[in-house]
Structure 1
């Protein structure tokens, strides 16, 4: 006799017991009818009933669910104990200080200036720079931190990346020793905040060959004219790196334009659908006079600017990983709690398919970026390495956030569930630090030997 036959036989015998002896339960349900019905079920139907009862009992704590963790291949195990401690330190900061306010400031399109001293206490600015009160850590850790920040809020990650990555790296790579001594320690302590002005209203990807902002020398000063657009942090930055084309030599030069410099005007860009917490500006330079001492002394052409972009493009690939991880983990958490048809939607096959596809994309992105940063630490990083990671990760992040939005149904468009913010912010990641098309052509040139740029 099968186990199901024994169960049915038991229920048939139970239908003759004294129901009054069961007390209060017999008053709430028709036990006689239940026993009769169960006794008439076939094996398949009874098996389904037992599964449902087992699931219901599991909700009371008997069914232990796995933790929510986007690091499926345990890349964190490759970090040293000190690096892992730093990773968790940044994660705790983002969870405790940023997550509670992220949606509020994103919705208001304002920046939470009160977080700057708390972020400064982490001592993570200019992470890979040595000798200026900077940590001198690995590129791997720089990427991990970018991921951890973007995992909670891409806007805060972008603010940090502009200051610590673009601005500080410009000074470290292209500045004189005197300029490094003046700026980098203060920027490491976040006593002053930096911005980076390259993109222009009429030229983005083609800025290397068509920069409209000009500079000309007059004695010990340079006169800057033109506009820059989408410049993060520029509405409040203490120093903005401005790249301009020398009218005499037609070669690009870099300048450190200080806050309050006459002829420098930064207007906040309104109406953004992504990275709303980031204070992007339209900069107008009108006969802006900058002393020769504030010209980046080691920048002689756009090739020097490109050195900065190469290392920061790798960080943006990590940022895409963080955005995808935040969306995946938010969606997974939601599907474990959200119930339809009497059970969590995470138990449905189609939902699990979405989750697994998201995890596969995320895991591929993480492993690619980890190797990318290892190449950077080994001084083997090339433009095409960084561009391939930026192309792949920004594309796959779009896929991940779309699926996260899908499994959350209508709630996926509400800020309170976070995924809506990740969906919007993924669009910014897709475009900045080189579009998909431009980065594709950089890789295409490397593998074919033919430059397909116009």
Structure 2
């Protein structure tokens, strides 16, 4: 019998009994074991248990297994401290974010009210050492990305841009003075960051030549150009801007503040995906930046690539979270939705879709788990991160498609969540390197030949 079954039987038997009956009950059920099991359940599990107890079953119907996308029990590989943090983030997303997310997604508005609540989680800058950061393994950064994306990919993107790309740029490329100035405030979410690399005419080809330029005039750096698709940029306090030096032709990074003269950020409208993310078109017109706001350790695109390598694993974990959210939503739906007098989960064709989904999801999870282990061991290479991004984003697409399919017409309604996952999956599929670009990175690693156009 499952642990949930033992607890359920115990609770049912304990109803309306007197002390004389306890001995007889103990002969049927180990009360100590059952109550210890009950005491180990977290708040989310207890709520699920109480809901299960209140649910009326048909006569003869067996207890249904819980809805859980971790089929291979990878959570058991986490330490208790890590598991507690995972549950803490999951509960936050369920209690504080899920109730409001569809409304904000529909209106393309960011729920600024959650930032204050986010601060209490203390999960910003997870893998960094010092500056108030938790300094936890990269694995936990991935687990957190999964848990956030499991409820909403937009919030996961906001968090990844701020904690990963923006803070990561300062952590890897900034001077000690710049780190001391920005990282503690960003860790506490007192200052919000953005990352400006992609341009209107330059996406996959950023390594070959940015159109945004910078030039030192003897006193300040003068930046001209545009950046597109820059998440958080409409409200960020600091934006990491990457530009090509007109004199050296090398890429440099800058800390551009929202009140810098010559800086303008316009919200991008009419997106079909990541509608909560406040993407901006940034225009820099003779934007002056002081030398002490130039990232002192960013001297070429290789330094930019180091930031992207560090954060690409997080994007693969986002794909896992998106797929897991869609799968669990679909599984929950198929257990409740009835056709021809039975839950549709009891039909062969539906079960085939669900098995395909959990197969994809499990392979994604195990791949990302090993990817994060490589990162924690200091063995992560570009091709490792790229393979994960390619594979997970493709399998994610398949999972969300099947989730929508088993829900029929209801799959396109926001109230069932899967429609949002379907749309947001398209953004994950493209950002942080398209399938084609990441495939060429892996191809170069396994063949020894570069197929990039020179």
Q: TM-score range by the shorter chain?
A: 0.7 to 0.9
The structure with more radius of gyration: 1
1:196 is aligned to 2:195: yes
Query: 1:61-72 to 2 correspondence within 5 Å?
Result: 62-72=61-71
Correspondence for 2:230: 231
Correspondence for 1:446: 445
Q: How many Å apart are 1:218 and its aligned residue?
A: 1.1
Correspondence for 2:241: 242
1:332 is aligned to 2:366: no
Query: 1:402-417 to 2 correspondence within 5 Å?
Result: 402-417=401-416
In 1: Cα distance, 2:60 partner to 2:290 partner: 68
Partner of 1:59, secondary structure, is coil
Query: 1:2-401 to 2 correspondence within 5 Å?
Result: 58-59=57-58, 62-401=61-400
Q: How many Å apart are 1:63 and its aligned residue?
A: 2.0
Q: How many Å apart are 1:242 and its aligned residue?
A: 0.1
Q: How many Å apart are 1:375 and its aligned residue?
A: 0.2
Give the TM-score of the pair, scaled to structure 1: 0.87
Q: How many Å apart are 1:259 and its aligned residue?
A: 1.6
Tell me the alpha carbon deviations over residues 357-400 of structure 1, each in whole angstroms, 9 at most, x when there is no partner: 00000000000000000000000000000000000000000000
Partner of 2:105, secondary structure, is helix
Q: How many Å apart are 1:59 and its aligned residue?
A: 2.3
In 1: Cα distance, 2:72 partner to 2:219 partner: 56
In 1: Cα distance, 2:146 partner to 2:310 partner: 15
Listed as ranges, the gaps of 5+ residues in structure 1 are: 1-56
Tell me the alpha carbon deviations over residues 168-219 of structure 1, each in whole angstroms, 9 at most, x when there is no partner: 0000000000000000000000000000000000010001112000000012
Q: How many Å apart are 1:62 and its aligned residue?
A: 4.5
Tell me the alpha carbon deviations over residues 408-449 of structure 1, each in whole angstroms, 9 at most, x when there is no partner: 000000000000000000000000000000000000000000
In 1: Cα distance, 2:420 partner to 2:410 partner: 12
Tell me the alpha carbon deviations over residues 266-314 of structure 1, each in whole angstroms, 9 at most, x when there is no partner: 0000000000000000000000000000000000100000000001111
Tell me the alpha carbon deviations over residues 315-371 of structure 1, each in whole angstroms, 9 at most, x when there is no partner: 000000000000000000000000000000000000000000000000000000000
Listed as ranges, the gaps of 5+ residues in structure 2 are: 1-55
In 1: Cα distance, 2:201 partner to 2:173 partner: 26
Give the TM-score of the pair, scaled to structure 2: 0.87
Tell me the alpha carbon deviations over residues 69-112 of structure 1, each in whole angstroms, 9 at most, x when there is no partner: 00000000000000000000000000001000110000000001
Q: Which stretch has the larger CA shift, 322-331 or 60-69?
A: 60-69
In 2: Cα distance, 1:207 partner to 1:295 partner: 19
Q: How many Å apart are 1:138 and its aligned residue?
A: 0.4
Tell me the alpha carbon deviations over residues 133-162 of structure 1, each in whole angstroms, 9 at most, x when there is no partner: 000000100000000000000000000000
Partner of 2:243, secondary structure, is strand
In 1: Cα distance, 2:439 partner to 2:58 partner: 49
In 2: Cα distance, 1:240 partner to 1:157 partner: 18
